[in-house]
Amino acid sequence: MTDSDDGRGADPGPSADRVRLRRLPDQGSHRWEDLVAVLDAGFVCHLGVVVDRWPMVVPTTYGRMGGHLVVHGSAASRSLRTAKAPTPVCVTVTLVDGLVLARSVFNHSVNYRCAMVYGMPELVDDPADKLASLEALSEHAVPGQWAYARSPSVKELASTTVLRLSLDEASVKVSEGPPDDDEADLDLAVWAGVVPLTTVRHHPLAAPDLRDGIAVPGHIADGPLAPGSVPERRPN
């Protein structure tokens, strides 16, 4: 997959055998637009890498820059130190949309959207590229925050590892819809259906040491909030 592919029309198929969808391929896709839809909707990924001959899967935030993902962390991180070398990694992003409750426990399931990306990450070392990557990470999670908060210092930049991973080898899987019960179970007196799940924003909570008179900035305050979310009441 590349950002030059508009993703329309037929599925182009896997770009490599490792991203070929073998189980329930009808739920999968190799289209660019489907990959971007999942990646742009999430903000936490899991980075899988082998460290000292053992697999390690680390949750971290990410950003997308065209046809690449960027992830970051402490320069002291074992997983990122390992991934800095020419080492294969797997990055997954999963969005859970609902609990699928069937009449039988065996047929319970989850509605989800998942993207899986394989590749050899490259170390982002150039200071300008590093700043641009960190900006993409920040803006992906909280648009507007990069220009609002203090930029990283030279020392902070040096203590941060940034990796860039091509999206060329990726696949998407989506599971949606009601439970698929066995015909023999349809007459059971058991409720069946879907419990929808979403990630929602609530009213921002100020840091306890925040100076008086500093209001929540518009790019944070104006975001969509969860129904019934109650504004924070700060002590007098």
Give the model confidence (pLDDT) of 164-197 as tens digits.
999 999 999 999 999 999 999 999 999 999 999 9
From start to end of 52-133, where are the E strands?
Answer: 54-65, 68-74, 89-101, 109-119, 122-123
pLDDT of residue 200: 85
How far apart (Å, rounded) are the C-alpha atoms in residues 71 and 43? 11
Domain count, the chain: 2
Pairing of strands 109-119, 169-175: antiparallel
Judgement on whether residues 66 and 147 belong to the same structural domain of the protein: yes
Residue 9: inside a domain, yes or no?
no
How far apart (Å, rounded) are the C-alpha atoms in residues 126 and 208? 36
Picking from 50-54, 117-121, 169-173, which range would have the lowest pLDDT averaged per residue? 50-54
Judgement on whether residues 194 and 219 belong to the same structural domain of the protein: no
What's the whole-model pTM score? 0.83
Judgement on whether residues 137 and 236 belong to the same structural domain of the protein: no
Are 202 and 229 contacting, i.e. CB atoms less than 8 angstroms apart? yes
Residue given tokens 């979403």 in the structure block: 198
Residue 191: inside a domain, yes or no?
yes
Judgement on whether residues 179 and 217 belong to the same structural domain of the protein: no
Domain range for 236: 203-236
How far apart (Å, rounded) are the C-alpha atoms in residues 188 and 101? 13
218 burial level (CB within 10 Å; 0-12, 13-18, 19+)? exposed
Distances, alpha carbon 126 to alpha carbons 85, 131, 132, in Å:
16, 9, 10
pLDDT in tens, 1-29: 655 444 456 778 767 766 776 676 677 68
Are 170 and 35 contacting, i.e. CB atoms less than 8 angstroms apart? yes
* Secondary structure class of 225 (helix, strand, coil): coil
Residue 8: inside a domain, yes or no?
no
User: Around Cβ 198, how many Cβ atoms within 10 Å?
Assistant: 9
